[in-house]
Homo-oligomer: A and B are copies of this chain.
Amino acid sequence: MRDQRVTLITLGVDDLARSTGFYAALGWEPAQETEGAAFYRLDGMALSLFGRAALAADQGRPGAALGTGAMTLAQNFADRAAVDAAFARAEAAGAEVLKRPEAVFWGGYSGYWADPDGHVWEMAHNPFWPLDVDGRLALP
């Protein structure tokens, strides 16, 4: 089994219904929903939404104030137009715009938005990182 892997990303959220509504507006469909969590299928892994206080307790530190923003999840796209389209879709879903897509110093094109709990997503095109037809990335 490979050591370098991530099988589940969990986002702590303050209002599960608000968050599932936001991701539904992005076009995401949960594979499983329970009273306190929602699970989305990714490629070879999953993403879940889980109450922020419940996550703190699950981590063994009930009552801790968990922060956001220092971990970014990114979607890379095949071209700039696809970045713009994805960004517009997020904005229409109610995302907080942090930085609109723009050409960046490393030769790519990138913008950032935050979900209702402050979790940050980057929408990017990196001409040096080719994607396969399913949008999977293999670092050169």
Interface residues of chain A, those whose CB is within 8 Å of chain B, are 1-12, 26-29, 31-32, 39-47, 52, 55-56, 58-61, 64, 66-78, 82, 98-99, 104, 110, 112, 117-120, 122, 124, 131-140
Name 22 interchain pairs, CB-CB below 8 A, sorted by A.
A1-B77, A3-B26, A4-B28, A4-B41, A4-B42, A5-B135, A6-B73, A6-B75, A7-B74, A8-B72, A8-B73, A9-B71, A10-B74, A12-B69, A12-B71, A32-B139, A45-B137, A59-B98, A59-B112, A66-B67, A67-B70, A68-B68
Candidate in A10, A118, A119, A124 with the most chain B CB atoms within 10 angstroms = A10
Complex Cα gap A72–B132 (Å): 27
Give the shortest distance, in Å, between A60 (CB) and chain B (any CB): 3
* Copies of this chain assembled into the complex: 2
Complex Cα gap A56–B70 (Å): 8
Is there contact, CB below 8 Å, between A74 and B6? yes
Known: A43-B44, A44-B132. 17 other contacts (CB 8 A): A3-B26, A5-B136, A6-B74, A7-B131, A8-B76, A9-B9, A10-B71, A12-B69, A32-B139, A40-B139, A44-B136, A52-B70, A58-B99, A59-B69, A59-B120, A61-B98, A70-B119
